[in-house]
């Protein structure tokens, strides 16, 4: 479905955002995980045909998306990380405008816009100006426009930012539902968001693909590498310098650490079942 070949992006000034990036995926939800500045947004912008790569290309169902961006745009729904809206338009007017740019015929447009507004639960406020919308409501307008064209390739960059916990859960469910027969690329640094929906996870760091695996595979790789230990408060800094810590909780008996690596690193450590967050930390910190 999607084949990325040696994609490289170097920005003016020399910053290398992507370096020889290769990836092949079929339908489902692909979670892109990586720290800030890893290259996730650059990759998504290129796949959304908004940015051109310095070198390399990607194929969508066999068609070159760099040479022929229109072939991708016809099937694309894109939600950028940061996007602006026209504050003097209502949500409905804004979606109608974007629907026209997607090529939706006038006879279908009204129904389509109404339906996606219902889907994101904004139909009651659809005729209010976007200038009066909260951040979460704007994000839902962004989600609505991404779904407007019935996309076969849905690229959503940090889509859950600004959504409340309930909205996040529902959005994740929506992604799972959409993914049948389509490819959803979902970028985030919130591991729990990916955990719930991703059929595959690509971990990116410094513009390179660290690994592509199913969540189960990532968990298996981290099995036996995650430990807990209790340290005194005044030993915490020293412990953190020795092992990558995935979480810590302060209790009466000291600080309960959860870390990845070797159990011998901290005295009194005992192995625990890894979570996806541990597996991600293991992948990025220890496998390089």
Partner 1 sequence: MKLSWIRAQVATEVKERLRSTATVTALVAFFILSFLWIPDPKSHAVSIAWQARDGVTTSGVYNAAYVGAAAAILASFFLSLAGFYLVAGSVRRDARRGLGAILAATPLSKTAYLGGKLAAHCAYLGTVAIFTLASGVAVFLTYGTGPLRIGELVVPFLLLVLPCLVFVASLALLFDVMPGLRGRGGLVIYFFVWTFLLFLLPMQLHGGIERTQRITGWPVYDPGGLALFVDLLERSVTDLVPGKLSIGIDILDHPVRRVVWNGLRFPPGAVLSRLTTLAWALVPFLLSVAVFDRFDPARRASRHRIRPRTASEKGRDELREAAPSGLAPRESLSSLPPFSPSPGILRSVLAESRLIWSLSGPLRWPLLATAVVAAVPGIPGRFGAAGFLLLLAPALSEVGAREAIHGSGGLVFSQPGVPQSMVLWKTLSAVLFVAVLSLPRLMMTVLSPQRALAFLLGGIFVAVFAIGAGVLTRGGKLFTGLYVALLYAAANGLPPLDFAGAFAPQPSLAVSAAYVAGGLGLLALAELRSRPPQ
* Residues at the interface with partner 1 (CB under 8 A): 45, 48-52, 70, 73-74, 76, 78, 80, 82-89, 93, 97-98, 100-105, 108, 111-112, 115-116, 118-122, 124-125, 128-129, 131-134, 136-137, 140, 142-143, 145, 147, 149-150, 164, 166-167, 170-171, 173-174, 177-178
| Antiparallel, parallel or unpaired: β 28-33 and 55-60 | unpaired
Shortest Å distance, C-beta 37 to partner 1: 16
Shortest Å distance, C-beta 112 to partner 1: 6
User: Please, which residue, 108 or 216, has the CB nearer to partner 1?
Assistant: 108
Count how many Cα atoms sit within 13 Å of the Cα of residue 50 in the half-sphere of its side chain.
Answer: 14
Among 212, 270, 277, which residue's Cα sits nearest to residue 244?
277
Residue 30 phi, psi (nearest 5): -100, 115
User: Please, which residue, 173 or 220, has the CB nearer to partner 1?
Assistant: 173
Shortest Å distance, C-beta 159 to partner 1: 11
User: Please, which residue, 88 or 242, has the CB nearer to partner 1?
Assistant: 88
Among 57, 84, 69, 225, which residue's Cα sits nearest to residue 141?
84
Among 237, 259, 260, which residue's Cα sits nearest to residue 248?
259
Shortest Å distance, C-beta 241 to partner 1: 33
Give the helix/strand (H/E) hosting 211: strand 208-213
Quote the radius of gyration of the chain (alpha carbons, Å): 21
Shortest Å distance, C-beta 156 to partner 1: 12
């Amino acid at each position: 479905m999607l084949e990325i070949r040696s994609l490289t992006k170097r920005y003016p000034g020399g910053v290398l955002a992507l370096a020889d990036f290769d990836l092949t995926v079929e339908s489902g939800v692909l979670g892109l995980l990586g720290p800030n500045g890893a290259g996730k947004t650059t990759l998504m912008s290129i796949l959304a045909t908004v940015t051109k790569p310095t070198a390399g290309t990607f194929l969508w169902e066999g068609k070159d998306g760099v040479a022929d961006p229109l072939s991708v745009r016809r099937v694309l729904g894109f939600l950028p990380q940061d996007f602006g809206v026209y504050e003097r338009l209502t949500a409905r007017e804004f979606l109608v405008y974007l629907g026209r740019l997607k090529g939706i015929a006038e006879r279908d447009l009204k129904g389509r816009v109404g339906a996606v507004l219902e889907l994101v639960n904004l139909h009651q406020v659809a005729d209010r100006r976007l200038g009066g919308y909260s951040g979460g409501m704007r994000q839902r307008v962004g989600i609505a426009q991404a779904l407007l064209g019935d996309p076969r390739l849905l690229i959503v960059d940090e889509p859950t930012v600004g959504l409340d916990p309930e909205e996040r859960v529902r959005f994740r469910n929506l992604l799972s539902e959409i993914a049948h027969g389509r490819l959803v690329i979902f970028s985030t640094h919130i591991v729990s968001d990916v955990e719930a929906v991703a059929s595959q996870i690509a971990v990116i760091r410094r513009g390179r693909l660290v690994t592509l695996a199913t969540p189960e595979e990532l968990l298996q790789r981290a099995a036996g590498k995650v430990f807990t230990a209790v340290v005194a408060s005044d030993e915490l800094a020293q412990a953190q310098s020795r092992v990558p810590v995935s979480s810590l909780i302060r209790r009466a008996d000291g600080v309960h650490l959860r870390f990845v690596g070797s159990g011998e690193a901290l005295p009194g450590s005992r192995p625990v079942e890894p979570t996806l967050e541990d597996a991600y930390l293991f992948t990025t910190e220890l496998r390089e």
